[in-house]
Structure 1
């Protein structure tokens, strides 16, 4: 299912990463080899799993967000033949949005655009229910979002993670 993938590999080596702009994906320490193994053998050796800085987490939105809230599953890195991807796992959790929310939509690899949070809710809903409604420069790229929470557990920033 496309809704469960997110960018997380070193393929984006643009100057954006060097300019202090954050990317939503952690960089793995190695490239995978062909094949796969569930035994822990290095057949899909992506290297060390990516880790996020303290205070950030990846989520996969479970249902289209409504005004002021969303339900989302924690997204964990998974090694695939194409590198690390984030996938939602477990039960969805209910999140409220903080009074002031910084929202960003992906506008392609290494590029985001700050938008009103309502535009992000509409975009996320369209990606889940009506992808034809999404207009350039945006696209539906995996339904994975990088979020930070305030001290009360409310979403204070949310950024769509780009994936081809």
Structure 2
């Protein structure tokens, strides 16, 4: 009887260790949870996010020139105030949150490429004014937001021109 209990205990230990190994960072990349999710694809260029909420592995990096921000107040024509957004590891992957003081941004006078999230990994190009209205509605009246759009964290991936003005802005979808 003692041998049977030891065997069952050893089998349970092997199963537990195997289960832990099965959900490590390698499987996340193969399974698509952290490496392919919209949140994980956009970070602050390698900053150190909080590792406290889950096992996200190393934060992925944004392409050169990209920056994540959280809009702080509804944007107005041609400008917005936003906080730098840093990644935080959660049980559901990397999620971004604005930190510090909001910075004032203006948009380029030329054509600004604006995209709104339409679900996991997909966006729709819209006039920048529509993006400003959408961001404002998400902050003040979510019932005004109509499908295929939704409000999902108020996080945006932006690029700036040589003068520090926003030239592209893309809403980041979060589940």
TM-score (norm 1): 0.76
8 A Cα contact 2:34 2:56, kept in partner: no
Sort the Cα spacing of 1:10 and 1:63 in 2 relative to 1 into closer, same or farther, 3 A.
farther
Structure that is richer in helix per residue? 2
Sort the Cα spacing of 1:151 and 1:43 in 2 relative to 1 into closer, same or farther, 3 A.
closer
CA distance, structure 2, for counterparts of residue 98 and residue 104 of structure 1: 16
Task: Indicate the residue corresponding to 1:74 in structure 2.
Answer: 84
CA deviations on 1:63-106 (whole Å, 9 max, x unpaired) are 00000000000001111122111110000000000112000000
Sort the Cα spacing of 1:143 and 1:10 in 2 relative to 1 into closer, same or farther, 3 A.
farther
The reply to whether residue 159 of structure 1 matches residue 170 of structure 2 is yes
8 A Cα contact 1:97 1:154, kept in partner: yes
Unaligned segments of structure 2, at least 5 residues: 1-30, 44-49
Number of corresponding residues: 137
Moved over 2 A (4+): 9-13, 42-45
CA distance, structure 2, for counterparts of residue 103 and residue 158 of structure 1: 5
Bigger Rg over Cα: 2
2:61 pairs with 51, 61, 72, which one? Answer: 51
Unaligned segments of structure 1, at least 5 residues: 1-8, 18-22, 29-37
TM-align CA RMSD: 2.5
Sort the Cα spacing of 1:152 and 1:27 in 2 relative to 1 into closer, same or farther, 3 A.
closer
8 A Cα contact 2:134 2:145, kept in partner: yes
Q: CA deviation at 1:12?
A: 8.7
CA distance, structure 2, for counterparts of residue 43 and residue 65 of structure 1: 31
CA distance, structure 2, for counterparts of residue 161 and residue 111 of structure 1: 9
CA deviations on 1:33-82 (whole Å, 9 max, x unpaired) are xxxxx8x6x87331111211110010000000000000000001111122
The reply to whether residue 26 of structure 1 matches residue 70 of structure 2 is no
Using the TM superposition, name which of 75-84 and 139-148 deviates more: 75-84
Find the residue that maps to 1:113 and give its secondary structure: strand
Sort the Cα spacing of 1:144 and 1:10 in 2 relative to 1 into closer, same or farther, 3 A.
farther
Task: Indicate the residue corresponding to 2:106 in structure 1.
Answer: 96
CA distance, structure 1, for counterparts of residue 87 and residue 157 of structure 2: 13
